[in-house]
Chains A and B, each alone.
Chain A
Amino acid sequence: MPKHYRPPGKKKEGNAARYITRSQAVKYLQVSLSVFRRLCIFKGVFPRDPKKKVKGNHHTYYHMKDILFLKHEPLLDKFREMRAYEKKVKKAMSKKNKDLAERLLTRKPSYTLDMLIRERYPKFIDALRDLDDGLTMVHLFAALPAIERENIQAERIHNCRGLSLEWQAYVSRTHKLRKAFISVKGIYYQAEVEGQKITWLTPHALQQVMPQDVDYKIMLTFLEFYETLLGFVNLRLYNSINLKYPPILDPRLKALAADLYALTRYVDAKDKKDGGNHEESELRLAQLQDQLPANEPGALMHLVENTADENEDDEETTACKTLFKDITFFLSREVPRESLLFVITAFGGVVSWEGDGAPFEESNQSINYQIVDRPTQSHRFISRDYIQPQWVFDCINARVILPTEEYMVGKVLPPHLSPFVDNEAEGYVPEYAETIKRLQAAARKEILPMPGGEQDDLDNAQNLLAEGIIDRAKAKEAAERKRKMEVFQAQYHEELKAELEGKTDTSTPTTPKESKKKKKKEKNVDDEEEEIEDDGNLKQFADDNDNMSKVAMSRKKRRLYEAMKISQERKKASVDTLKTRKKNIQKSKKTTSD
């Protein structure tokens, strides 16, 4: 009898009944694959792996309950209706029944994803938790060009841009930004909204590469969902700080609203007229205030700010808010304005820029830092520092105002480190991270001894840790080494002792061989340092210990242990390569300097 034989008349059971393959599911729902895909994306249905794959390994399996869930989705009917409608239109067109076609075109069936969002995210916090991908996608599409061929419409791109700006405006207004990191892929931001850490990536504001082998339909389906989601999230967030959503713009602006660039310019212009020194997004918020009964936007702004202050008792938020307080920045033409505007205002700074609509001119005396990104700066004001944009990002990640010497114009910048890495868990701390740590400590008015004299004395690893010179990882390492040594030594002493006793016990005539051996041993006792130095022996000993405990383990545990060891090894190997590279670099530096 074959393995999966089921007698006729007996129902399927177990995995065979519970899971169906994708093609089966498509057939079951009586839809096309593309509609099925759309449904899956909208509903958040994903394949699940059965314990036993009845149809084979190369299939994708869906849980039957998921498929039934899709089957009862009203959207499925809607999609069918849309398909029927398209057929009708096509038929009318091909029959040259223009009247009918036109009439049909006015009655296109439409659908909304509102209830799906509610269903997938029953609570607002759930939506926030799942916002990362949505934000990244929306920010990416905001930077893409409109392509007619791929059905990427300009309208949607404008919408994406609007949504992303609204989100950024909220984050910077409420000072929720925590980390920012310039990577090769773009700029990563991390905000903390309602206790959720939300990370998103914005591409560098340049012409994006559009690969040909990407199915944009799938991306657009995802985007459709994310746009709706972000719209609802933005509304909720704006309402939470007592603002109307969507931002209702001035009727005079509405004519320009089609082009967001024109709009921002207008906003800038208005800002200039008001003489305020708010950034663009803040101005957008100020625009909202116009709708409210009071006439003076400035006063209202302060009102909103005050209420916001009362609400937040979060320590970190206040720390973020005051980082750039009373510091005025000026952005040069060549620096990425949008991201810096966002970041600096999120940390409480005041910004202006070179170009139209800037709140104040370059010659303004109150400017503390001018951010430039060019090899040399010809004309300089003495009262301000000319720094490169990385300084801002390093400052906000370290939460201290770093000294500007290393970030001056034309200088080779110190490395830009990721704020998302736990150095100690990784086991390798870059040099500059330590420098920053010292600076942070100094900012906290703690005086720490300078590093450099990294002592090799392993005994006081603990003390070192207490002093804070070396970090935990190193201390651990040292302690580990020390402990191992101790174990070996103790073991060795015991062995020697045992041997001596044994010798007295037996006290039989010894062969020359043995005596020789003994002599050797005795010699070893004399200089046991040498013995310990004997690497091979030690290694053997460690191996033996390792093996011995492995022998007594059950198979399951042993496998687990081995897997863990492998991952540890891998981690260690990567750290080791970093260390060797660093050593090599230092060596080469020395030789060049010599």
Chain B
Amino acid sequence: MKKEGRKKLKDEDLKPVEKEDVVNGKEALSGSEDDGVESPVVSDDDYGSFSEGDDSSRNSDSESESGSEQSEFSEDEDDENPINEGEGDLSDGVDDHSEGDQSASEDSREVVDESDSSEDEVGPRNTIGDVPLEWYKEEEHIGYDVAGKKIKKKERLDKLDSFLARTDDSNSWRKITDDIEDEEVELTKEETKLIRRLLKGHAPHADFDPHAPYVDWFSWDGAKHPLSNAPEPKRRFIPSKWESKKVVKYIRAIRKGLITFDKPKEQPRFYNLWGDESSSNEKGHGLSYIPAPKTKLPGHDESYNPSLEYIPTQEEISGYQLMFEEDRPKFIPKRFTSLRSVPAYEKSVRETFDRCLDLYLCPRARKKRINIDPESLKPKLPSRKDLKPYPTTCYLEYKGHKGPVSSICTDTSGQYIASGSHDGSVRIWEVESGRCIKIWELGEPVKHVAWNPLPELPILAVSMGHDVFLLNTGLEKEEDKMISDLLHVETPTSPDESETAVSVSWSQYDKYDGIRITHFKSVSSVEWHRKGDYFSTNVRVYDLVKKKFIKKLEAGVREISSVSIHPGGDNVIVGSKDGKLCWFDMDLSSKPYKVLRSHNKDITNVAFHRNYPLFASCSDDSTAYVFHGMVYSDLNQNPLIVPLEILHGHRDTNGRGVLDCKFHPRQPWLFTAGADSVIKLFCH
């Protein structure tokens, strides 16, 4: 219906007034022209009040408007006929009306009865206008039609009948009485819907969007000047004086206590802070909280009446005074015979205070405390029984030297042992009997003795001071001649000597028919040439054949005192003066494979056994260690090192213990030379 109305309005462009549009729409809604402006009125009473309250001028306006509308409608009617025709009866009715003035009242009434919607076009039948209906109360007519004829009142049903009619008719609730026209109007479904929407305060039409995006009809772009030239009023940016006055007034009143406020309600000091435990799964903030360690719980000694043994004696208490402040016991147990004699503890506040300080000043850290048997830290070593034989006990002692025995050496057969001492003598002993076979008195402290490794030439090299002596031992009778010949030659072609310097002079030493080789510097050790390819000094490995430096071994110890090479050639042990023994696996790395901290004092010498997987170290702490050092031919398997035995026996003389150790070439026996001028043989 509204659509229809709008369409028409669009057609008549003469009146582009929005208000009109609204009016028209409303008219269409309510079915009566007059109440189109304000709220829709459903009941008769409302209507009455409305009409009474309204002022007459507005009424006249609307009347005139409607009048003009009507005229226009009628003008356009012809053009729009085709459109209206589709609406059937309704439009027919309209046609009837507009066509002529001859229309009878009955006809029109019929038409109206059929559909009140046609009123839009028809206009009201009754022309009395907005006058109180009371005026016609007594009359038989209700007003006049367009032609000025009286419109007769219809017969009214009495109350009972109307009630019955209403109960019978299910649509009675839709029906309202139009007093002016004196007819019953039945609201259509759409109209009731509209009314409902209006009652709810919504826009009357369902398809009306109250939140439609705002379309700014004013084109701001082209505007060069403000709409208004008036300057910004001051009140826009100055705080209100009146308000501030009011505030001051209140403030004064509050200060003076004229205005008092309600005191805030007292909350209970404590409440269930943790609430339901299950809900509190929040994590702590910040770093992980390390709880402070709890205070130590009191022991028996803190009792007011401890056992007697917990109370220190008077001497002990006086002994505490001699202790360092830190070592002194903090608490001295006391005994009270009864509870009533216990005094107040004078340090209780102090101790609590100290605890407080600890709590907020001590750095805290989590530390792992292992609670294990210390014995379990010891490595699992293979049983020593399985690694036998190895020297364990002192079997023989070779006594005879008068000074510390500095060096010993066994001959290749293992039958004899040579020893050099600080008393300037060199002795040869028979190993198994312990008999001294030969003695040379050389007059100077002997530094080193060494047998010739060739068994057929039993020559002994002795170094002392600047000299090296090559001595014929005379042990091999058949070869004796040859040896003496050899030693007699005064040419430097005879035995190779590894440490021959350039400046060496050879001379015949007549006293013991040997050779004397004099160096300019003191000789510290002599070594007979072996067939090995390598010769290693402290930490440098040289290729002797190519005369090239190969490798440097980093022992990481302070001062190296001795070196020994495994018969296999790839492993070296190094003894140092800080009591550490390093095992190098030359194939593995230049760092020690294992460092054994065995001795408390300097290691004087280390030695490998030629045949057995044994090695030994001797030290100034007058002990010698024997180790099992198995080197496997499988390169993937690391050498196995097991400490086997600690050999005691030598006495400490002038801070020196065992000066040299050598293995027997065949048997697992160890010779040790001590500073106490004794040589010992340890057997298995």
Contact = CB atoms under 8 A, between A and B. Distances in A.
Contacts of A336: 339
A123 B289 CA distance: 14
B643 A548 contact: yes
Nearest to B335: A415
Interface stretch (B344-352, B459-467, B483-491): B344-352
Contacts of A513: 396-397, 434
A544 interface: yes
A219 B348 CA distance: 13
B280 A123 contact: yes
Contact of B360 (A37, A63, A420): A37
A184 B379 contact: no
A118 B280 CA distance: 10
B294 interface: yes
Interface stretch (A25-33, A198-206, A439-447): A198-206
A66 B300 contact: no
Contacts, number: 290
Nearest to A129: B291
A234 B596 CA distance: 62
Contact of A209 (B272, B280, B348, B379): B348
Given A222-B359, A494-B385, A551-B625, A69 B309 contact: no
B298 A418 contact: yes
A572 B172 CA distance: 112
B144 interface: no
A132 B295 contact: yes
Contact of A235 (B271, B297, B361, B385): B271
A513 B342 CA distance: 72
Contacts of B684: 498, 502
A44 interface: yes
Contacts of A118: 273-274
Contacts of A561: 374, 377-378
A581 interface: yes
A427 interface: no
Interface string B278-317: 0010111111011110110111101111111111110000
A498 B432 CA distance: 18
A66 B348 CA distance: 32
Contact of B374 (A66, A69, A99, A564): A564
Interface string A47-84: 11100000000001101011001000000000000000
A540 interface: yes
Given A49-B363, A133-B355, A231-B269, A207 B344 contact: yes
B631 interface: no
Contact of B302 (A46, A129, A418, A565): A418
Interface stretch (B96-104, B189-197, B387-395): B387-395
A556 to B, nearest CB: 10
B318 to A, nearest CB: 15
Contacts of B233: none
Given A63-B287, A218-B356, A514 B393 contact: no
A46 B363 contact: yes
Interface string B256-272: 00000000000001111
Interface string A539-563: 0100010011111110101101100
B25 to A, nearest CB: 61
A319 B271 CA distance: 33
A209 B305 contact: no
A468 interface: no
B648 interface: yes
Contacts of B648: 540
A46 B359 contact: yes
B558 interface: no
B339 A388 contact: yes
B14 interface: no
Interface string B356-389: 1101111111000010001001110100010010
A494 to B, nearest CB: 7
Given A373-B338, A389-B339, A553-B379, A182 B362 contact: no
A232 B349 CA distance: 25
A66 B288 CA distance: 10
Interface in A480-514: 494-495, 498-499, 502, 506, 508-509, 511, 513-514
A185 interface: yes
Contact of A578 (B294, B303, B309, B625): B309
Given A231-B270, A417-B307, A502-B684, A549 B378 contact: yes
Contact of A185 (B338, B345, B643): B345
Nearest to A578: B309
B359 A133 contact: yes
A390 B363 contact: no
A208 B355 contact: no
- A63, A103, A495, A547 — which one has the most chain B CB atoms within 10 A of its CB? A547
Given A47-B363, A123-B277, A204 B298 contact: no
A246 interface: yes
B255 interface: yes
A516 B269 CA distance: 94
Nearest to A48: B363
A514 B344 contact: no
Contacts of A66: 286-287
A144 B291 CA distance: 28
B294 A132 contact: yes
A226 to B, nearest CB: 10
Contacts of B596: 551-552
Interface string A325-339: 000000000111000
Interface in A554-594: 555, 557-558, 560-561, 564-565, 568, 578-579, 581-582, 584-585
Interface string A138-157: 00100010000000000000
B353 interface: yes
A206 B344 contact: yes
Contacts of A235: 270-273
A495 B294 contact: no
A520 to B, nearest CB: 12
B597 interface: yes
Contacts of B299: 418, 420-421, 426
A236 interface: yes
Interface string B420-464: 000000000000111000000000000000000000000000000
Given A65-B287, A130-B291, A235-B270, A136 B309 contact: no
B641 interface: yes
Contact of A60 (B363, B393, B397): B363
A388 B338 contact: yes
B646 interface: yes
Nearest to B353: A214
Contacts of B350: 211, 214
Interface string A500-536: 0010001011010110000000000000000000000
Contacts of B360: 37, 40-41, 45-46, 218
9 closest residue pairs by CB, A with B: A420-B297, A206-B344, A69-B286, A415-B307, A564-B374, A582-B309, A581-B309, A183-B302, A549-B378
Interface of A: 37, 40-41, 44-49, 60-61, 63, 65-66, 69, 99, 103, 114, 117-124, 127, 129-130, 132-133, 136-137, 140, 144, 181-186, 188, 199, 203-204, 206-211, 214-215, 218-219, 222, 231-232, 234-236, 239, 245-246, 334-336, 373-374, 388-390, 412-413, 415-418, 420-421, 426, 430-432, 494-495, 498-499, 502, 506, 508-509, 511, 513-514, 540, 544, 547-553, 555, 557-558, 560-561, 564-565, 568, 578-579, 581-582, 584-585
20 contacts: A47-B362, A69-B285, A123-B277, A130-B291, A132-B295, A140-B349, A188-B298, A204-B343, A232-B270, A235-B273, A236-B273, A416-B305, A417-B306, A498-B392, A508-B432, A547-B646, A551-B643, A552-B596, A560-B374, A565-B374
Given A49-B365, A185-B351, A514-B434, 12 more contacts: A41-B359, A99-B255, A119-B285, A136-B352, A206-B344, A236-B273, A389-B339, A417-B306, A548-B644, A551-B597, A565-B374, A581-B313
